[in-house]
Structure formats: C-alpha cells, structure tokens
C-alpha cells in the first residue's frame, strides 16, 4: 500500500512490480527499451506484460512571466515530434531542457532560460512535477514559473551545436490565455503552466512586484 500523502492514494506502489526483463533495443539521444514486468492486479491476482518504452531523462520547463508588465515570454521552434502537425511543426513553448547529471532543478531552469531566451530569471515558483505520456514514455518534468524582465526578451537563441533555432516571443498575458483557449498553444507543459497562471496571476503580481 502506498504511503503517499494527499487526497488520493493508489492501491499499489513500486514494491508491487517485479521487473522480469529489461532489454535495451536502441541507444541514441534517448533509449528505446523493451520491458517485461509482473504486477499485482485489482482482483488479487498478478499480470505479466511486455511493453516498449521510450526512456527519456528528467527535464525542467519554465514559464517566463513579467508580473510588472503582465506579459509572458515564450519560444518558437521546430519539433520533430510534430513534423506531421496539421498546422505547423513549429510550436509556441516554454523554455525547457534536460537535467544533466549533478545539476539541480534550479540550475537547469536558469541555464535553459539564458540559452533559449537570453534572459536572467529572478524569483522561481515550482508548479508541478508530472509525467507527460506514461503509457509508453518514461519522463518526469518539473514545471516552474519564473520572474523575468520581458523588455529584455529579443532575438534568436539556442545552441548551434545542438541544432537549436529558437525565436523569442512576448505576449500580453491575456493574449496568451486567448491562444490557449483557441488551441494555438497545444503542447502539454505550456498548457499546464498557462492554466496555472490563470489561477495564480493575481498572487504573483502582488508578490513579485
């Protein structure tokens, strides 16, 4: 039985799963693995399943918010995962990056914000830790909101040796909310962060000003 705190607790935890086989199929930027596990079932029995798994390292994503100007800073870049997007494979996103060995989450947030937007962040608010696609991807994302000066957000950014080509955008917060509502912003971290901002915008304006 899980010992997690909160309003809901799962019936089982990781002690109720046995890893029978973990086979590395492909090693590239990410790992592609085939795993066989046996786990307890809700009817009191056990189930053995074989699943393909894309193994991605943990990541950090940051919503950049200027509370004084009431503006958000977002980035635009090409994404291979949406190469067949019905509109465009260039998405409006949050700055984000992988957690390197030995790095703290705060260090990643500051590094990626500088690399992808050219901005320095001030105050930092942790929003959530979540997994975006647990059906077949092992990845955990820590989501933050950071205070920035939107007037300094200009130009093109990214690391050339990593194939990054990033354009910075500054939006009035209400316009960002409108783009969220009409589906122009359609990737999970940005959706979650902007919905969180809708709930906490006034508090941030009072505390970050």
Spatial separation of the C-alpha atoms in residues 204 and 195, rounded to whole Å: 14
List b or e across 115-140, with b for residues whose CB sees 16 or more CB atoms inside 10 angstroms: bbbbbebeeebebeeeeeeeeeebbe
pLDDT of residue 1: 45
pLDDT of residue 167: 93
Reading the block at residue 137, the tokens are 């991807």
In this predicted model, what pLDDT tens digit does every residue of 169-183 receive, in sequence order?
999 999 999 999 999
Q: pTM here?
A: 0.90
Give all strands (DSSP E) within 155-194, no chain letters: 156-157, 166-172
Q: Which of 120, 141, 108 is closest to 73 using CA atoms?
A: 120
SS (H, E, C) 25-39: EEECCCEEEEEEEEE
| Counted domains in the chain | 2
Spatial separation of the C-alpha atoms in residues 181 and 191, rounded to whole Å: 9
Same domain, residue pair 77 and 175: yes
* Domain interval for residue 181: 59-208
pLDDT of residue 2: 46
pLDDT of residue 33: 97
Say if 19 falls within a structural domain. yes
Among the listed residues 21, 45, 107, 162, the single catalytic one is 162
Give all strands (DSSP E) within 12-81, no chain letters: 17-27, 31-40, 46-55, 59-66, 71-78
pLDDT of residue 156: 82
Say if 2 falls within a structural domain. no
**CA dihedral over 75, 80, 83, 86, signed as positive or negative:** negative
Reading the block at residue 10, the tokens are 């799962």
Residues paired with residue 26 on neighbouring β-strands, in sequence order = 32
Same domain, residue pair 22 and 99: no
Q: pLDDT digit of tens for each residue in the chain (209 aa)?
A: 445 566 889 999 999 999 999 999 999 989 999 999 999 999 999 999 999 999 999 999 999 999 999 999 999 999 888 999 998 999 999 999 999 999 999 999 999 999 999 999 999 999 999 999 999 999 999 999 999 999 998 888 877 777 678 899 999 999 999 999 999 999 999 999 999 999 999 999 999 97
Same domain, residue pair 105 and 25: no
Spatial separation of the C-alpha atoms in residues 6 and 197, rounded to whole Å: 23
pLDDT of residue 5: 63
Same domain, residue pair 85 and 51: no
Say if 175 falls within a structural domain. yes
**Is 103 noted as a catalytic residue in this protein?**
no
pLDDT of residue 29: 87
């Amino acid at each position: 039985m899980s010992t997690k705190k909160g309003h809901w607790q799962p019936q089982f935890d990781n002690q109720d799963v046995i890893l029978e086989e973990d086979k590395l199929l492909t090693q590239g930027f990410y790992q592609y693995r085939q795993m066989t596990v046996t786990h307890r079932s809700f009817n009191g029995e056990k189930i053995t399943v074989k699943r393909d798994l894309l193994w991605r390292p943990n990541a950090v994503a940051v919503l950049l918010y200027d509370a004084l100007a009431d503006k958000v800073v977002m980035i635009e870049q090409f994404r291979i995962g949406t190469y067949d997007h019905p509109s465009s494979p260039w998405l409006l996103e949050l700055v984000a990056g992988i957690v390197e060995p030995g790095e703290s989450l705060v260090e990643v947030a500051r590094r990626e914000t500088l690399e992808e937007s050219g901005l320095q962040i001030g105050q930092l608010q942790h929003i959530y830790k979540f997994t975006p696609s647990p059906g077949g991807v092992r990845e955990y994302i820590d989501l933050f909101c950071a205070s920035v000066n939107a007037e300094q957000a200009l130009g093109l950014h990214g690391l050339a040796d990593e194939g990054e080509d990033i354009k910075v955008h500054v939006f009035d917060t209400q316009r960002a909310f409108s783009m969220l509502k009409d589906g122009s912003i359609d990737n999970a971290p940005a959706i979650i962060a902007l919905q969180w901002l809708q709930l906490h915008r006034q508090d941030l304006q009072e505390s970050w000003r």
